[in-house]
Amino acid sequence: MIDLHLHLDGSLEPEFLHTLASQQHIDLSVEDIKKQVICTSCNSLNEYLGCFDLPIKLLQTEDSLMQATFHLMERLEKGKMAYAEIRFAPQLHTRLGLSIENVVNAVLLALNEANRVFSVKAQVILCCMRGGVENKLQNIETIEVGRKYLGKGVCAIDLAGAEALYKTQDFKYLFEIAKGVGMPFVIHAGEADGVESVSSAINFGASRIGHGIALRNEEYLMNEVKEKQIAIEMCPTSNLQTKAIKNIKDFPLFEFLDNNLLATINTDNMTVSNTTINKEFELLENKLGVNNEIRKKLICNSVRSAFLSEADKTKLMLKVLNQRK
């Protein structure tokens, strides 16, 4: 199985977070942590994002970042995953003095070791953050660091955060810089904001769009997405939790597939959304009637959309098909 939209800080098991808290002399029980990091009743994306406060607080040292990366890779290995693209925002982990490059180095060091010892393989996507002028310099630095490590564990950059509060169009400068240095990018768009957000992501040149729910019923834009082969990173459970969709029947998977879009299925946040990639497919099978043929198509779409060479995509496809036997 493959997960192309997977946040590091949102996918750490509560028991592991308890270990980190104990190491940092923070007195929290596992149950306390679960209450803070697992979404049970959110009314919006902004409320959902509150579940990240504790993990981010605990991930402010090189050691904690390395432990977290290795833990997540071990979790993916146990889940029999073949490949993942793990994303995180380096600037959120600089509160105790680490530089953005320090943060990225720590994650890559653990990732390279995990790639060596586990069968699951992964790369990282560095998230720039939506926000005011205070984020601008850090976002630019994230691109610079990402470009330095492109092909050395980093595969792309992203734009994440409070989409409805900070419009995608306002970050045009970021993607002009990214294109100027040859940095691939994906953009969270059409989750908490409307079709204008998706249109901006398309115009900027995103290789993939995170969520993209606002594309539904927009035939012209769907045609453009299809023609440009822009993949859609769909995340059913988190879309229900953030109210991007009212119920699973509103999930536009078949509309996207019927329009020949490169729809992919992902977890978004394994812990915050209390899910796994297998649970996501089970939800779609039970509620929308997704069968084995469609499941295979979605997995193939993920392989096609991964930030890998064509040779590595061929190897990954064979690995995934062998897992399915």
Q: Catalytic residue positions?
A: 191
Amino acid letter for position 286: N
In SS3 terms, the chain reads as: CEEEEEECCCCCCHHHHHHHHHHCCCCCCHHHHHHHHCCCCCCCHHHHHHHHHHHHHHCCCHHHHHHHHHHHHHHHHHCCCCEEEEEECHHHHCCCCCCHHHHHHHHHHHHHHHHHHCCCEEEEEEEEECCCHHHHHHHHHHHHHHHHCECCCEEEEEEECCCCCCCHHHHHHHHHHHHHCCCCEEEEECCCCCHHHHHHHHHHCCCEEEECHHHCCCHHHHHHHHHCCCEEEECHHHHHHCCCCCCHHHCCHHHHHHCCCEEEECCECCCCCCCCHHHHHHHHHHHHCCCHHHHHHHHHHHHHHCCCCHHHHHHHHHHHHHHHC
Other beta carbons within 10 Å of 125 = 27
